[in-house]
Structure 1
């Protein structure tokens, strides 16, 4: 019998609105999430305490764990603490990207579903099947299940440092380049491409690219949050990070590895990395649209915007393919020398205006 459809792993609850956290107890009592009300909350050791003070009185069946520090060691400790403490229906990550990634890994390790309650929109990790954690070698990506529920309170997002929200914009817009890299690999190497996953990631990027307003507007934040969720689900559809990660992410990872003490936020680096990769691809008009949007929201479009020199950027682009061995993007396709990277960067900087 032919396959008529396919099942897509996705959250059973996606709640994105102002005031969503006011209904958190009710959302978590959903019988599909926590039938007994036993919940393990993962928070950071710092700002997480204020969140605990706010919600603990309304969640008497919850235990709180402050081990979510964004490292693989912390994620293992969190999993061990949850396992030793008792039986739970689910793990709830309450915080930013480091907390969510740490909790995703820990939940997978103990075999529990995860509820992601994001307090900023810095990247698509809030709904992705990947946990990015610091380790002894720098930073690694670990496969995990998607969250069973996503809760994003726009009032909380507005209270977060603006830089974190802007980083999420860069992480979404760069999907235009990531999908183009995937299509390039399909043409040049025969790599299989999943049309649904590509469409989800690309349309998420287009939605943010074309959305008017600012990070102070609920309508814009809703579009950004929904787009980040869709990007995460697109990776589950593909069974790979391919629809969300191409040369843009290779360049960002190169910054992280080469300049660990100077690296900016992931989404900031991916945003202008994606614009540069799009320019490399010869799509100068689209690269201009991307840099215009990044500038409009206060994001970097040139390395000096976040404290890097032209030479730093050239070095990062040259090193970038080594961060994802086996991945084929415009960087691997062109295989530019250092001098060629310098020349094309000069053209890019001139084209977009410094």
Structure 2
């Protein structure tokens, strides 16, 4: 009798440790990644120049490119510039915007991509998705999973601490996303993938119950591993569903309504962390809401709208608009279908309960 299994795309190599990037040349020499040694390396404009100066001696045969932000236009332009280069692989070296643009460009020219993350701001480091700004706001684009992932803890520590904390909010938000998926399964009959759920929930739980903080190597490794599990969960599901629920709808609505406002600089992980806590409050799960808000506060992440520079009325507008950001996705927001006044009452109650 045949044994039926499924093949899940995952990176060939996952290297998470201090000094990991010093072995990048060895990873690229793996014939499964590069047979000729001819690669393209992508960094950001500006700060990427320092990375190029530091690591170019390790990669004498590489051609270097810069990308001007995480926009669809920039990613398409990058692909056009790399086209015809006869590379074996593309290396994205930088933060989330660089990696997302590089993943998209590599997919567009049909090349495997190696992700070298310099911060842990979100779960895109190992995901089959590129999040890119476009004319309509922000879109999610399916791409192949990176063929290898390198996270050098020394580089992570050199990044602003706020970017690392953002990754904590991203992992915690999985607990909201999974609860929304399970709700949709019960109410609408949407198919649920148990393996994807297990991976995403494990990522969230790893931060919810993890002692220590971003100063500790063990904590940073656990955070990175959780973000990798999130990416694999999306590969398993073939969708962002295990890691994106009401929390992400709220974050997208913040970007659409207030992203252009002077002084707004909320990071994605900060926004989805707050969104997850509020959505869990809407779900009536007081115990988990208290765990989420206390964990967010312990890691100096936003707990109430004021921490993102939003008033109660503004956050009410965000939650009201949130379901429109992901048409067809069923979460606690669509399930409750609250009117404006009821949402404002819920926001006010949440702030008064957890704002202290």
Counterpart contact for 1:256–1:263, Cα < 8 Å: no
Residues 1:60 and 2:60 are matched in the alignment: yes
Residues 1:144 and 2:140 are matched in the alignment: no
Determine the structure 2 residue equivalent to 1:312.
314
Runs of 4+ deviating beyond 3 Å: none
User: Secondary structure at 2:67's aligned position in 1?
Assistant: coil
Q: Distance in 2 between matches of 1:74 and 1:40?
A: 16
Unaligned runs of 5+ in 2: none
Residues 1:97 and 2:127 are matched in the alignment: no
Deviation at 1:350, TM superposition (A): 2.5
Determine the structure 2 residue equivalent to 1:340.
342
Q: CA RMSD in A?
A: 1.0
Q: Name the TM-score, length of structure 2 as normaliser.
A: 0.97
Determine the structure 2 residue equivalent to 1:183.
182
Determine the structure 2 residue equivalent to 1:126.
125
Corresponding residue to 1:266 among 268, 272, 276: 268
Residue by residue over 1:273-304, the C-alpha shift from the partner in whole angstroms, topping out at 9 and shown as x without a partner, is 00110111111110110010000000001010
Deviation at 1:346, TM superposition (A): 2.0
Q: Distance in 2 between matches of 1:212 and 1:46?
A: 36
Deviation at 1:58, TM superposition (A): 1.7
Q: Name the TM-score, length of structure 1 as normaliser.
A: 0.98
Residues 1:250 and 2:265 are matched in the alignment: no
Q: Distance in 1 between matches of 2:42 and 2:3?
A: 40
Deviation at 1:134, TM superposition (A): 1.1
Determine the structure 2 residue equivalent to 1:26.
26
Residue by residue over 1:221-270, the C-alpha shift from the partner in whole angstroms, topping out at 9 and shown as x without a partner, is 00000000100110000000000000000000000001122251111000
Counterpart contact for 1:20–1:151, Cα < 8 Å: yes
Corresponding residue to 1:290 among 268, 271, 292: 292
User: Secondary structure at 2:9's aligned position in 1?
Assistant: coil
In 2 relative to 1, CA 124–191 (structure 1 residues): closer, same or farther, beyond 3 Å? same
Q: Distance in 1 between matches of 2:286 and 2:69?
A: 40
Counterpart contact for 2:178–2:200, Cα < 8 Å: yes
Counterpart contact for 2:122–2:268, Cα < 8 Å: yes
Unaligned runs of 5+ in 1: none
Q: Aligned residues, how many?
A: 353
Residue by residue over 1:66-121, the C-alpha shift from the partner in whole angstroms, topping out at 9 and shown as x without a partner, is 1252111111111111113x211100000000000000000000000000000000
Q: Distance in 1 between matches of 2:104 and 2:341?
A: 42
